[in-house]
Structure 1
């Protein structure tokens, strides 16, 4: 995933401004981290309108480095921060297609793009940027939706002293939309709790799901760094990450290792319970004071045997048993509390404009926790040849990270689906599935991309390919989950049947566990225990 920065202003309105010049350099450095292979700046002026294009390149495709911004002899410029399944450089390929267009409508039909902010009289500048540097008085940034794209008519901006304003920015809605969730309400379908003996209809659907998901993984395991680990999986040992690792094995050269990034945090609250017992019944002020003053780390042997580490080790053995030809590296990413504390400001800046406690460490989705994603993407930890061997330091070389985001949203993996069913039956689950699908881009994708890409890595989401989404959305709800069944079977039932078919027996029956609890990243810092997920972090 590359980094882009576009800065537009009228020269007469924005004379030498030290604060803005400093901000531009900080933004440039932040976006350079997303594309460590090459960076370049292009400056263009049209009358009194000044434009600066900066782009950084993370090379994952093609035979050679291609530096951004892309440009031609006609003055066209393209900064591309996206992902196209192609053996060529995707930005160069898109630029070539754009050069063939003649009208905005043709561009609209070619692009899936973004909606940008509009300058005002008080702030006569336009900035489009992949990642910010956090809270800053010079700008007010918004998360960009993906249902439309904006374009600026540059010649119209050079009309006398006219300031940049909303009328100069025009919007085209995109014509592509995700397939809606099938709203067919089942008529009391039979209960089938045996994953080994599903109905013929469910068995066929499971095979089709495996086919769509396998093709999606195949398209997302291309990379150019031959001879070392090119692909890594954000790996908790849950069903989502395990099935992605298993399918990746089919499409990565056998002599290349696959890294399984498994994160564990040192959590002072857990240590306090271990050393002083459960203090849950104490008054809130006393609990905070104990946490602040009474932990003596020098006397405590910190271990990282968190739930996700245990399931990760179990699934490592299952993968080694099913795919013995592969070198599987379970990368134990152990995060001391002090290191988390030191990195917190950096993580919050990357999250911005997401600024809630939920964005940082607490969310229901397995792979959307900014703190865990930040340290996982860095890929620094230790590995063991076997479970009992001594650990050795290891830094993952993989620059493509597979992420299981989308599985819970599409297949009903959250506990709230059971709650909805108890309240209003199958119709409530259908409504909840549609809501989850609708808010994935705004709740997850932008923030996760900014955090992961800060290490020069690209995250890919096989469950969110159009093929997988369309297939799962088309199925009646009772073929995807059954809240009448016990935990570990009913949620994501179809995926459990599919994984059982390929031999992932342990993974197929594992209960859902949110990453903040599995990695112990939840409720680490003083004062976070009583804050709801939408509580704003301090500025």
Structure 2
């Protein structure tokens, strides 16, 4: 995980006394707020490179400033950023700011012996075709790559948008790219600060690689930006494409496939896909530095490198259970469970009842911990019950609002607050040393876990009215038509959810979660797993056609059946609960506020 920042602006050539880069610690292009936020994402190193392009025809040049902060999680030591290739003297000819992980290159697992960013930079500097190199990378990332030889700047987010990248454009043609915004946090800069949203930051879309041509014709039109698809395989046929990964299976007729069972091929394949995804994300994580844990907390007497954002629900508990099968036996796994003091709820609790232990996610978390301890008794599980008093929520609220910007609704705040305090990983007496966090995000979108997915099926099926003709054949035809219409509606809803993950969730979540110097990893959003999942027909994931009392519910049934095979019988039957309701961050002040209302 890193924080990246780049400023690109057109200047008069005579205003620059050289075209040399400047690699020192005088980070004079950053405001104190922005510098602090970038350093929190990458506390191990901060570096900057400045360079200026060769003069253009109109007598102007392009000045570029690149900043990177580093959280070292790959290779055998700290690798400084930005990556730089110099030409004559010390002029920067190529520069890469990289925030992400290279899990695969051209489909093959990338080496974990060295730094993945360095590997990528070497590939970029060895070719004139940067697009092909970037398209070959699989993993979560955001980047800015300056090719001074070709006069181009490449930037973007990965196919699914798992890392944040914001952009800010000014009227005079200056472009700023950044992992986080510099909107004011009034809790830290005082009441005379500017409005939260005084700067027009927007998220870079996760729909391709953007290329800035620095050879603009004039200062009034300093450059042009073009977008290049992640894959040319689907050019002109984008209606059902997901992130350049493949076509979403929109089939709607299950035929006589029957109900989904534990021995179904899709259940076995999901287990294999998740194991492969986790293998990349949790093995070879370096041991955290001891300085990460504050002296005021109890000393760590065990090796813990990975923690799970743990509500006790289906997705995160399956990840924890499968992580046990992969991690060395002497490593611990922390389970971070967050609960909030919601004043509205507290007012109605029985006298003497603990407001935190009464939170739905705390109850579920402890029950799921018991199942993990029963199925994996040899693992050193540690349950971290993070309790957030209402006063802490209020004190940190401005910071959360600033981090999630440009997202600005009450629902965003509810979700972001839960993630913010969970990623801090701190109780009154303990703090996780883990710098890698696992999240189950993506499972609901891929496998049909939200309530609206069941509704989509039911509404689609209900559009076919049965005719009370009394003829068995007619009734059967009506039943088949209803089923097919239901699955067609469900497929459309799932496709929509997967396609908008980067725009709706992931950039916001990355900015909030990374604030504490930890990196969140999403095993369900591995490219190979997503490609496999979107190719499955919907009834091989969630068969709403078969919904029987006492049976495992149809929502995410493929994952529920996998949990059952892993010995997690109670987890397999756990109902879906949104994080803002499970942790009780929703409607902290008023029960009347709508989730779509803007934060003020």
**Alignment TM-score, normalising by the size of structure 1:** 0.83
Give 1:119 deviation, angstroms.
4.1
Deviation string, structure 1 residues 1-60 (Cα, Å, up to 9, x no partner): 1000101223459x9xxxx97863432221111000111111112344322111000101
Residues 1:169 and 1:417: Cα distance change in structure 2 (over 3 Å): closer
Residues 1:537 and 1:164: Cα distance change in structure 2 (over 3 Å): farther
Residues 1:303 and 1:170: Cα distance change in structure 2 (over 3 Å): closer
Deviation string, structure 1 residues 329-350 (Cα, Å, up to 9, x no partner): 1100000001001101000111
Deviation string, structure 1 residues 60-117 (Cα, Å, up to 9, x no partner): 1101101100112332110001121241212111101111111354455446851785
**What SS is found at the alignment partner of 1:524?**
coil
Structure 1, unaligned runs of 5 or more:
277-298, 362-368, 383-392
Q: How does 1:220-369 map to 2 (within 5 A)?
A: 220-222=281-283, 223-225=285-287, 228-274=303-349, 302-361=355-414, 369=415
Residues 1:177 and 1:29: Cα distance change in structure 2 (over 3 Å): same
Residues 1:151 and 1:189: Cα distance change in structure 2 (over 3 Å): same
Contact map agreement 1:233 1:260 (CA 8 A) in 2: yes
Contact map agreement 1:264 1:333 (CA 8 A) in 2: yes
**What SS is found at the alignment partner of 1:72?**
strand
Give 1:302 deviation, angstroms.
4.7
The reply on whether 1:114 has 2:170 as its aligned counterpart is: no
Distance 2:565 2:355 in 1: 39
Contact map agreement 1:239 1:507 (CA 8 A) in 2: yes
Distance 2:37 2:277 in 1: 31
Cross-structure match for 1:162: 219
Task: Tell me: higher relative CO, structure 1 or 2? Use CA pairs within 8 A at least 6 residues apart.
Answer: 1
Task: State the aligned residue count.
Answer: 482
Cross-structure match for 2:85: 72
Distance 1:127 1:471 in 2: 36
**What SS is found at the alignment partner of 1:454?**
helix
Cross-structure match for 2:119: 93
Cross-structure match for 1:375: 421
Cross-structure match for 2:520: 459
Distance 1:472 1:110 in 2: 20
Q: How does 1:417-436 map to 2 (within 5 A)?
A: 417-424=453-460, 425-436=486-497
Cross-structure match for 1:29: 36
Residues 1:324 and 1:211: Cα distance change in structure 2 (over 3 Å): same
Contact map agreement 2:38 2:179 (CA 8 A) in 1: yes
Distance 1:145 1:396 in 2: 33
Cross-structure match for 2:62: 49
Cross-structure match for 2:141: none
Cross-structure match for 1:408: 444
Give 1:498 deviation, angstroms.
1.1
Cross-structure match for 1:286: none
Residues 1:311 and 1:138: Cα distance change in structure 2 (over 3 Å): closer
Deviation string, structure 1 residues 252-283 (Cα, Å, up to 9, x no partner): 2211110101000000000122379xxxxxxx
Distance 2:80 2:197 in 1: 32
Deviation string, structure 1 residues 274-304 (Cα, Å, up to 9, x no partner): 379xxxxxxxxxxxxxxxxxxxxxx997543
Structure 2, unaligned runs of 5 or more:
16-26, 56-60, 88-92, 104-109, 139-154, 158-165, 184-194, 232-242, 289-301, 461-485
**What SS is found at the alignment partner of 1:233?**
strand
Q: CA RMSD in A?
A: 2.7
Contact map agreement 1:186 1:478 (CA 8 A) in 2: no
Distance 2:506 2:208 in 1: 16
Residues 1:254 and 1:35: Cα distance change in structure 2 (over 3 Å): same
Cross-structure match for 1:534: 596
The reply on whether 1:511 has 2:560 as its aligned counterpart is: no
Give 1:469 deviation, angstroms.
1.3
**Alignment TM-score, normalising by the size of structure 2:** 0.75
Contact map agreement 1:333 1:375 (CA 8 A) in 2: yes
The reply on whether 1:213 has 2:213 as its aligned counterpart is: no
Contact map agreement 1:8 1:50 (CA 8 A) in 2: yes
The reply on whether 1:153 has 2:213 as its aligned counterpart is: yes
Give 1:149 deviation, angstroms.
1.9
Deviation string, structure 1 residues 401-427 (Cα, Å, up to 9, x no partner): 110011111111111112111111111
Give 1:475 deviation, angstroms.
1.9
Residues 1:468 and 1:139: Cα distance change in structure 2 (over 3 Å): same
Give 1:533 deviation, angstroms.
2.4
Residues 1:273 and 1:170: Cα distance change in structure 2 (over 3 Å): same
Cross-structure match for 1:388: none
Give 1:379 deviation, angstroms.
0.5
Give 1:206 deviation, angstroms.
0.9
Cross-structure match for 1:389: none
**What SS is found at the alignment partner of 2:8?**
strand
Cross-structure match for 1:6: 6
Give 1:185 deviation, angstroms.
1.7
Distance 2:317 2:254 in 1: 33
Cross-structure match for 1:492: 556
